[in-house]
A and B are shown apart, each in its own frame.
Chain A
Amino acid sequence: MNLKLPTLSRRDFLAKSTLGAGLVLGAPAVLRAKEAGAPTDDIRVGFIGCGKQHEVLFNAMVNIPGIRYVAACDIMKARVGRTFSTIKSRFDTKINRYLDAEEMLEKEELDAVFVSTPDFWHAPHTIMALEAGCDVYCEKMMSNTLEGARSMVAAMDRTGKLCQIGHQRRSNPRYRYTLEQLIQKEQICGQIVNINGQWNRALSSSQDIVSKPSILPDAETLRKAGFNTGADHELSLDELRHRFLNWRFYTDLSGGPISDLGAHQIDIFNWYLGCQPTSLMASGGRSYFKDREHFDNVMCIFDYDTPQGNVRAFYQVLTTTSSGGGYYESFMGAEGTINISEREAYTKIYKESGADSAKWDNLVRRGFLKKEAAGKAAGGADAIASYESAPPDEYALPGGLSKAPHQPHIENFLDTIRGNAKLTCDARHALESEAPIYWVNQAAESKETIFFTDEHLHT
Chain B
Amino acid sequence: MAYKDKYSNDLGLTLGMLTLRIWLGCRAILTGIEKYAGTQNSDKDVLIDGATNAYGLTDTVTGKVYSFSNYHGVPVPLYDKFNSEPLIPTWGLNLFDTILGPALILLGLGVLFGIAQRISLFAMGLVYTSLTFGLILINQSSGVAWLGVHIIMVVMALALAKHNRFAVLKKW
Contact = CB atoms under 8 A, between A and B. Distances in A.
A397 B59 CA distance: 10
B55 A176 contact: yes
Interface string B53-79: 101111110000000000000000000
A173 B55 contact: yes
Interface stretch (B4-12, B41-49, B93-101, B102-110): B41-49
B48 A174 contact: no
A399 B49 contact: no
Interface string A160-193: 0000000000000110110000000000000000
A366 interface: yes
Contact of B53 (A398, A401, A402): A398
A128 B46 CA distance: 43
Given A173-B55, A176-B55, A402 B60 contact: yes
Nearest to A411: B56
B48 A400 contact: no
Max chain B CB contacts within 10 Å: which of A176, A368, A402? A402
A400 B60 CA distance: 8
B58 A401 contact: yes
Interface residues of A, number: 14
B57 A366 contact: no
Contacts of A368: 48
A367 B49 contact: yes
A273 to B, nearest CB: 20
Interface string A391-408: 000000111111000001
Given A177-B53, A398-B53, A402-B43, A366 B60 contact: no
A184 B56 CA distance: 19
Max chain B CB contacts within 10 Å: which of A366, A397, A398, A408? A398
A402 B57 CA distance: 8
Contact of A366 (B43, B45, B49, B56): B49
Interface string B23-59: 0000000000000000000010111111001011111
Max chain B CB contacts within 10 Å: which of A174, A366, A397, A399? A399
B49 A177 contact: no
B58 A402 contact: yes
Contact of A177 (B57, B59, B60): B57
Given A399-B59, A401-B56, 19 more contacts: A173-B57, A174-B55, A176-B55, A177-B53, A366-B48, A367-B47, A397-B57, A398-B48, A399-B45, A399-B46, A399-B53, A399-B58, A400-B57, A400-B59, A401-B57, A401-B58, A402-B43, A402-B58, A402-B60
Closest 3 CB pairs of A and B: A399-B57, A399-B46, A173-B55
10 contacts: A173-B55, A174-B55, A177-B57, A366-B49, A367-B53, A398-B53, A398-B57, A399-B59, A401-B56, A402-B43
